[in-house]
A and B are shown apart, each in its own frame.
Chain A
Amino acid sequence: MATEILMPALSPTMEEGTLAKWLVKEGDSVSAGDIMAEIETDKATMEFEAVDDGIVGKILVAEGTEAVKVNTPIAVIVEEGESASDIKAPAAPVAAPEAGESSPTSEVMADARPAQPAVDRSPDYPDGTEMVSTTVRDALRDAIAEEMRADDTVFIMGEEVAEYQGAYKITQGILEEFGARRVIDTPITEHGFAGLGVGASWGGLKPIVEFMTWNFAMQAIDHIINSAAKTLYMSGGQMGSPIVFRGPNGAAARVAAQHSQDYAAWYASVPGLKVVQPFSAADAKGLLKTAIRDPNPVVFLENEILYGRAFDVPKLNDFTIPFGKARVWREGSDVTLVSWGIGMSHTLEAADELAKDGISAEVIDLRTLRPLDMATVIESVKKTNRCVTVEEAWPVASMSDHIGSEIMREAFDYLDAPVLKCTGKDVPMPYAANLERLALTSVKEVIDAVRTVTYR
């Protein structure tokens, strides 16, 4: 059967090209793989190979012809005993479907984000539950131990997690209870063990990968994003990555620029990840247990300064907190303060100070940044008409910026003042004690911001 050879597209952007040179002539036999012609594209001169065996029946476009559109017939290949005239009417060029062409509703659909959940103000645990004062450190350890007891596919790996009992003692006693098969010291090789963890999650395990600090995870960020976050989508839903990446994030004390970055906004920008940044010990425990059970990759951002701080934790056999549910720490009427992680320390202290001056602040702890409980924030802003966000990360392209833009979109008419943000300063973290204090946000900055938006 005679076949038409069409002008090929030889790069992702080529629309037309020059048929520079024919390397075969009419009557020549060709086999699959033989070079037939040289074609100049927008980028280079490329060789064009035969795909089928046959005889060159007719050359339709002479060499030297410029601006030959992709998919124009350029030659006819025939079989033994056929002639070029055996080909029927020229086939219509096969056009690649244009994106969005298939449905008139495409554009509308593309902007249709999944519906946002409603406000959920149900309590995290029943009234009257016995509470036990626990540090964030012990709460995290308890969460890990409880989930490891419940599920043999859960294991933990990282630098110094086993014999050293954790660089920050989060895994105290874990090796003793679960043994070296499930508690694994790694060499100092973040890129490698993060990737190994993701592979293990595809193999049916539920790894907890500890980074000694999230600063070191920059060496592993390719696996967190390209391997863990994107694979479910790239596989059409076949391959989930049930893995938790966790460790201390943000500034500790006097550890300077390379050990003090807060990655909240970086990871929260990535579809496919879940991102948690707890403040209290109860949240650390309840959210880490949820993270370990979640079938998706979870970025769990802890804080070294909070590790030693004690909070009340409910004494329950199996205490979990769902993702995407903010906690209202105190109700108020004059301004909404939105924070998470260690930012909550400044925020709660500022709210106490403001109360003394008769300014009533509602304090919301987001707890998880993806999914983000904007419903609770919007509901509050509609009541107070003012909002200040508080975080320790850098100010440019921050979580605060995102929250501010969402408030404008959803509650613009309710605002009586611009949404202000208190953030870390736009500088690498300095070492000197006085400069470090200046680089972080503070209770005073929060109070000043509230006075600005309340005009008091």
Chain B
Amino acid sequence: MAARRATKKLTASKTELLKYYRDMLLIRRFEEKAGQLYGMGLIGGFCHLYIGQEAVVVGLESVAMEGDKRITTYRDHGHMLACGMDANGVMAELTGRIGGYSKGKGGSMHMFSKERDFYGGHGIVGANVPLGAGLAFSDMYKGNKNVTFTYFGDGAANQGQVYETYNMAELWKLPVIFVIENNQYAMGTSVKRATKSSSFWERGTAFSIPGEQVDGMDVLAVRAAGQKAVKHCRAGKGPYILEIMTYRYRGHSMSDPAKYRTRDEVQKIREERDAIEQVRGRLLDAGATEAELKAIDKEIKDIVNASADFAKESPEPDPSDLWTDITIDA
């Protein structure tokens, strides 16, 4: 992959690899279950699955420290699980139940956890970019070393407010990492059909923001790039752009017939570049046994099944909740 990619061999300990394997597998199995519950009519509206992109959030969470913040768009389930939010609460929000992170009032695209410093979950493409810069502004104002991971897609990368934000972020040296998850399709429009300037990280150079393109199917490549980015931000040098080349296996949303790409294209990436399979291979090389990995598979399956049960059993919000949480009493 293109410019500035780290060339030195990437390694990680078996313990680290086991964690990444577990975290990525949790996202994949969770999303498969969400797709299933959607099919059963238990999840309504829009539901955007993260399957295929797991290495992006798991790689970056591995470099986050306490107090760091994250914010993303509507394809948000993976980000929530990766930052330690509870699978039950996420799944119950998907089914619109009181046990969900937003008490059933937000749904798939609008979930938050102040406790885990997860600031959404935003349905307006591009809007979370200045919001993320604002979170970073608050850390700079308070004078701490925290950074904000601001995730958005190749589609959002064409929104005007992204560049308004780049301009302010570099001007004020905000500790924000702009993470462009380039999964190559903005809904049904491929990058090629949306822009003649398809190297998104390079757009930062117009604002003097450094950045790089990263192989998003390799969790260790993501981690290495993340380490560089947080170091830059924590040193007070301002924002950093990571354009992470990734791929979503499923449709844009559950109701996407996906006629804009071939089944072979998807299948080829799944077979040759799958992030979880790569870590699995590395783990076996590092001496992990099939039995060890099977035990993780089982543990994850249990967590996901339990979350689905919780999400079915948790009651709907009380009708009186219609009128709560509109404003805070002053």
Contact = CB atoms under 8 A, between A and B. Distances in A.
Contacts of A41: 255
Given A110-B319, A238-B114, A8 B134 contact: no
A236 B132 contact: no
B225 to A, nearest CB: 24
Contacts of B185: none
Given A192-B167, A234-B105, A239-B119, A227 B131 contact: yes
Contact of B120 (A51, A96, A205, A235): A235
Given A47-B258, A109-B319, A189 B164 contact: yes
B295 interface: no
B130 A195 contact: yes
A49 interface: yes
Contacts of A294: 330
B257 A46 contact: yes
B123 to A, nearest CB: 8
Interface string B21-45: 0000000000011011011111011
A186 interface: yes
A57 B252 CA distance: 31
A214 interface: no
Contacts of B197: none
A81 interface: no
B161 A191 contact: yes
Contacts of B133: 192, 195-196, 199
A312 to B, nearest CB: 26
A196 B40 contact: no
Interface residues of A, number: 79
Interface centre among B100, B168, B263 (most CB of A within 10 A): B168
Contact of A196 (B124, B130, B160): B130
A10 B134 contact: no
Interface centre among B129, B131, B138 (most CB of A within 10 A): B131
Given A96-B44, A203-B139, A223 B168 contact: no
Interface residues of B, number: 79
A123 interface: no
B320 interface: yes
Contacts, number: 228
B171 A187 contact: yes
Interface in A255-271: 271
A19 to B, nearest CB: 13
B124 A202 contact: no
A202 B168 contact: no
Interface string B102-114: 1111100011111
A187 B123 CA distance: 26
A10 B255 contact: yes
Contact of B130 (A71, A105, A223, A234): A223
B113 to A, nearest CB: 7
Contacts of A45: 257
A17 to B, nearest CB: 11
B40 A272 contact: no
B127 A236 contact: no
B326 A271 contact: yes
A328 to B, nearest CB: 23
A97 B315 CA distance: 10
A427 interface: no
B258 A233 contact: no
A197 B105 contact: no
Contact of A199 (B131, B316, B322): B131
Contacts of B120: 231, 234-235, 239
B134 A203 contact: yes
A236 B134 contact: no
Nearest to B176: A199
A241 B260 CA distance: 40
A293 B46 CA distance: 37
Interface centre among A9, A94, A194 (most CB of B within 10 A): A9
B168 A186 contact: yes
Interface in A1-22: 6, 8-12, 14
A11 B112 contact: no
A240 B326 CA distance: 9
Contacts of A44: 255, 257, 259
A152 B35 CA distance: 47
A196 B134 contact: yes
A192 B141 contact: no
Contacts of A95: 41
A222 B124 contact: yes
A231 B141 CA distance: 23
B137 interface: yes
A145 interface: no
Contacts of B110: 231, 234-235
A295 B36 CA distance: 40
Contacts of A195: 127, 129-131, 133-134, 161, 165
B325 interface: yes
Interface string A179-220: 001001011010111111111111111000000000000000
Interface string B213-249: 0000000000000000000000000000000000001
Nearest to A232: B325
A199 B324 contact: no
7 contacts: A10-B39, A10-B254, A10-B255, A205-B138, A231-B120, A234-B102, A234-B112
Interface of B: 32-33, 35-36, 38-42, 44-46, 51, 69, 71, 100-106, 110-114, 119-124, 127, 129-139, 141-142, 160-161, 164-165, 167-168, 171-172, 249-251, 254-259, 263, 270, 315-316, 318-320, 322-328, 330
Given A191-B164, A202-B119, 5 more contacts: A199-B138, A234-B112, A235-B112, A236-B102, A240-B328
